[in-house]
């Protein structure tokens, strides 16, 4: 229960007393509706004996009704009115409770997305994106519909059952207590038998759901390789197997919920028959027993559905608890930085140098150190290149320079100021990053370049300048709608090189203090790379540029080059300095040429 409460937002936790009050009120309304029939039954069964009751006689006299028939009609109308009021209150109550629970669907999904976006990059990359999507789209619904909604149903059903049980104990203590004992033992035994299987079925369903999401994501995102290597059948068979396991788990969960429920119907009905026989044996078969038997019958009409809901809700809740554990673990994890709007803050200027001082960084699994005691200085408004073998740690260094990951030791400094969680958003506002494969969003070419960023009133001119810098002029001129041309899903209508140019234009559009190019020219042809390299040279003296490249031609004109190996700086200097002597870079250069 504590984990379920944790998943509620603060406002919902403050409103729990209302949920409790409405649930108890629904139970009391059912009890009042059943009790309201008792006077009518007593007068209908034996008017003389009933009117011997001082309360009923006083009520008739107060209303000024002389005849028994008129009083009986009035009692019937009063009972009908009470029953109608109870039903109306129940409809309103369920509407309120459902609205309360459904409101948590948006809140929970939003908090989950927020947590995933706040998580440090290295933590985020350890998990498959399909798993996160499954948590948001599938597990949130399981928690809301399967756990929270069933918890509310369980609460209201318990309130109704307890209210009616108290009423029956007052009317006929021994019979009611006997019935409660029999039903309690029966329900308890059956639920104890299914609670373990329900939990295991819930785990199996969650695992199968994740696997189907992962397989579908891989098959669709890698459609070229899947088709070329003839992997369609393999993916289809694995998808069908995972989906079959999911369907089997769902069916098993339904059976574990429905079959015992049918057994409980027999148990409940049989218990009620025994109570009626008991009552007739105790009070005889005359009219005096009729009101009690009828009261039990009306109570049973309310009690049976409540008992059914108690079992069904408890069983369904048990089956969906694995989803609660999963989301609780994600939401309880240590948060990363706040989701402050980086576009709404003023960026940090970079006038002197960007430095990594004594930084160390371990692999996420903690088995091996990737960066150790690294000192690296990037002079402001200069062009710096990072080269090295694959796995040397270049991209990790870039992630630390941009503030995407935090080093385990040491720190990042901008003009001597250490970057902390308090000023991280300002630093990121000053950075533009071009990866090897730029992310394309659903929208136009202009939307992809702007990427949610608005520089001010000169947006159109800024867009044109960025496109010109990235060499998009020719492409834009060929398109009738220019920058307003829609790209479609992930920009698949464009070539890899064209998508990369859009990514470069996106970075320039932000007018950054630091421009990071991570193998960003690898998808360009030689002529286009040379043109972009010349454009980058024009940024010298205005923007700090850090380039990671395997093609040494991309770093030939850098002001400073760092050779990275095993997470350390092996050598540094200008291109002609490093190639003009017997050095590790010289060997790297010979291998590259």
The more confident residue out of 517 and 4 is 517
Strand pairing class (560-565; 514-518) = unpaired
| Confidence label for 510 from pLDDT (cuts 50, 70 and 90) | confident
Q: How far apart are CA 475 and CA 289, in angstroms?
A: 92
Name the percent of the chain in helix, strand, coil, to the closest 5: 65, 10, 25
HSE, CB side, 13 Å, CA atoms: give it for residue 245. 18
- Whether the per-residue pLDDT at 285 is higher than 70: the answer is no
- Whether the per-residue pLDDT at 366 is higher than 70: the answer is no
The more confident residue out of 395 and 266 is 395
| All residues at 6 or more sequence positions from 478 whose CB lies less than 8 Å from its CB, including other chains | none
- Whether the per-residue pLDDT at 519 is higher than 60: the answer is yes
Q: Among 21-35, 215-229, 378-392, where is mean pLDDT lowest? A: 215-229
Report the alpha-carbon angle 22-27-30, nearest 5.
125
Instruction: Name the average pLDDT for the chain.
Output: 78
Per-residue HEC secondary structure of 178-208 comes to: HHHHHHHHHHHHHHHHHHHHHHHHHHHHHHH
- Whether the per-residue pLDDT at 506 is higher than 60: the answer is yes
pLDDT digits (tens, 9 = 90+) for 520-567: 766 566 777 777 777 788 888 888 999 887 777 778 888 999 988 888
Dihedral (CA of 516, 522, 527, 528) sign:
negative
- Whether the per-residue pLDDT at 51 is higher than 70: the answer is no
Q: Pull the structure tokens for residue 547.
A: 């380039």
The more confident residue out of 60 and 412 is 412
- Whether the per-residue pLDDT at 377 is higher than 90: the answer is yes
Q: Among 5-19, 180-194, 257-271, 347-361, where is mean pLDDT lowest? A: 257-271
Per-residue HEC secondary structure of 209-259 comes to: HHHHHHHHHHHHHCHHHHHHCCCHHHHHHHHHHHHHHHHHHHHHHHHHHHH
| Confidence label for 365 from pLDDT (cuts 50, 70 and 90) | low
CATH superfamily membership of 2-203+255-332: ABC transporter type 1, transmembrane domain (1.20.1560.10)
- Whether the per-residue pLDDT at 298 is higher than 90: the answer is no
| Confidence label for 334 from pLDDT (cuts 50, 70 and 90) | low
The more confident residue out of 555 and 383 is 383
Taking residues 155-162, what's their average pLDDT?
84
Dihedral (CA of 223, 227, 230, 235) sign:
positive
The architecture (CATH level 2) of 435-511 comes to 3-Layer(aba) Sandwich (3.40)
The more confident residue out of 592 and 426 is 426
The more confident residue out of 244 and 526 is 244
pTM summary value? 0.66
Residue 581's pLDDT is 66
Instruction: Show me where the domains of the chain are located.
Output: 2-203+255-332, 435-511
Residue 418's pLDDT is 93
- Whether the per-residue pLDDT at 293 is higher than 80: the answer is no
Residue 354's pLDDT is 93
Strand pairing class (544-548; 409-414) = unpaired
Taking residues 209-232, what's their average pLDDT?
74
Residue 337's pLDDT is 47
Q: How far apart are CA 351 and CA 379, in angstroms?
A: 9
Say if 2-203+255-332 and 435-511 have the same CATH topology. Answer: no
Residue 283's pLDDT is 61
Residue 588's pLDDT is 66
Residue 544's pLDDT is 92
pLDDT digits (tens, 9 = 90+) for 398-457: 889 988 888 888 899 999 999 988 888 888 888 988 887 777 777 888 888 887 766 555
Residue 480's pLDDT is 84
Residue 295's pLDDT is 72
- Whether the per-residue pLDDT at 514 is higher than 90: the answer is yes
């Amino acid at each position: 229960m504590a984990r379920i409460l944790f998943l509620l937002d603060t406002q919902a936790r403050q409103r729990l007393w209302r949920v409790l009050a409405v649930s108890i009120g629904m139970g009391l309304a059912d009890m009042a509706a059943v009790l309201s029939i008792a006077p009518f039954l007593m007068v209908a069964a034996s008017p003389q004996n009933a009117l011997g009751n001082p309360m009923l006689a006083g009520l008739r006299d107060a209303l000024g009704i002389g005849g028994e028939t008129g009083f009986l009609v009035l009692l019937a109308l009063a009972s009908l009115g009470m029953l109608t009021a109870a039903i109306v209150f129940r409809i309103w109550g369920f509407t309120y409770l459902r609205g309360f629970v459904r409101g948590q669907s948006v809140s929970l999904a939003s908090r989950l997305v927020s947590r995933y976006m706040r998580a440090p990059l290295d933590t985020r990359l350890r998990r498959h994106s399909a798993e996160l999507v499954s948590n948001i789209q599938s597990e949130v619904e399981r928690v809301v519909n399967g756990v929270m909604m069933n918890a509310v149903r369980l609460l209201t059903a318990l309130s109704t059952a307890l209210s009616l049980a108290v009423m029956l104990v007052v009317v006929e203590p021994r019979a009611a207590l006997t019935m409660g004992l029999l039903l309690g033992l029966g329900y308890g035994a059956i639920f104890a038998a299914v609670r373990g299987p329900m939990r295991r079925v819930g785990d199996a369903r969650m695992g199968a759901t994740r696997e189907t999401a992962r397989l579908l994501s891989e098959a669709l995102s890698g459609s070229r390789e899947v088709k070329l290597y003839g992997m369609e059948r393999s993916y289809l068979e694995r998808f069908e197997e995972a989906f079959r396991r999911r369907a089997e788990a769902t069916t098993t969960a339904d059976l574990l919920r429905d079959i015992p429920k049918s057994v409980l119907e027999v148990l409940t009905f049989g218990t009620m028959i025994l109570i009626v026989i008991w009552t007739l044996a105790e009070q005889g078969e005359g009219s005096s027993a009729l009101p009690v038997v009828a009261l039990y019958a009306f109570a049973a009409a309310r009690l049976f559905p409540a008992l059914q809901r108690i079992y069904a809700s408890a069983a369904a809740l048990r089956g969906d608890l694995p989803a609660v554990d999963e989301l609780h673990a994600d939401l309880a994890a240590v948060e990363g930085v706040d989701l402050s709007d980086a576009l709404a803050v003023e960026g940090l200027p970079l006038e002197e140098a960007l430095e990594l001082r004594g930084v160390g960084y371990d692999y996420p699994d903690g088995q091996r150190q990737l960066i150790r005691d690294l000192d690296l200085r990037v002079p402001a408004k200069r062009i710096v290149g990072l080269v090295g073998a694959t796995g040397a740690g270049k991209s990790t260094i870039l992630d630390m320079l941009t503030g995407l990951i935090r080093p385990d030791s040491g720190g990042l400094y901008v003009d001597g100021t250490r970057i902390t969680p308090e000023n991280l958003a300002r630093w990121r506002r000053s950075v533009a990053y071009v990866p090897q494969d730029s992310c394309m969003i659903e929208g136009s070419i202009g939307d992809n370049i702007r990427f949610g960023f608005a520089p001010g009133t000169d947006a159109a001119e800024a867009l044109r300048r960025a496109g010109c810098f990235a060499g998009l002029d020719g492409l834009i001129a060929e398109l009738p709608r220019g920058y307003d041309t829609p790209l479609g899903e992930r920009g698949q209508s464009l070539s890899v090189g064209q998508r990369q140019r859009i990514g470069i234009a996106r970075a320039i559009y932000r007018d950054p203090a630091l421009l990071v190019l991570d193998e960003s020219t690898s998808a360009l042809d030689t002529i286009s790379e040379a043109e972009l390299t010349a454009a980058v040279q024009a940024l010298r003296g205005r923007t700090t540029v850090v380039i990671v490249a395997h093609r040494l031609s991309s770093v030939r004109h850098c002001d400073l080059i760092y050779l990275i190996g095993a997470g350390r700086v092996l050598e540094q200097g200008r291109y002609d300095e490093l190639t003009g002597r017997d050095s590790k870079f010289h060997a790297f250069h010979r291998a590259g040429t």
